[in-house]
Amino acid sequence: MEGPLALLVGCFFASAIYLMLSDSLIRILLGVTILANAVNLLIFTAGRIVKEVPPIIPEDAMVPPIATANPLPQALILTAIVISFSFFAFLLVLVFRTYQGLGTDKTGKMHMAEEPGDPVPPRGY
């Protein structure tokens, strides 16, 4: 089960890096979102996928049964999902306001700080 998930994580990371190297802010935003999902899947895969009982201690026992699922990766992923969703919402608003202010979502055309007649630097932008 870990083999196909490892390949899926690799594909997620590759597509996220490809999108983040793009010129469009929307593609960069989608790349960041896919990267967050890839990290979540990586943590989930590294936490060993088992078909065991949930990590709940019965009332008459002091310790959980021997074969229980690891709750730490699940808790980390749940927290990361909430954080990545709020980060996505913030970046979406930031991209929208940038598009409203500059009229473009291409990073190569965002030159509001330069005067219209200024020459291009020797090495370009």
Q: Where are the domains of the chain?
A: 2-52+68-103
> Which residue matches tokens 């992923």?
77
In sequence order, what are the residues at sequence separation of 6 or more whose Cβ sits closer than 8 angstroms to the Cβ of residue 109?
A: 102
pLDDT of residue 57: 81
Q: pTM of the entire structure?
A: 0.77
pLDDT tens track of the chain, all 125 residues? 778 889 999 999 999 999 999 999 999 999 999 999 999 999 988 877 777 777 778 888 888 777 777 788 888 999 999 999 999 999 999 999 999 988 888 888 887 766 777 777 777 66
Q: In the CATH scheme, what is the code of domain 2-52+68-103?
A: 1.10.287
User: What pLDDT shows up at residue 125?
Assistant: 62
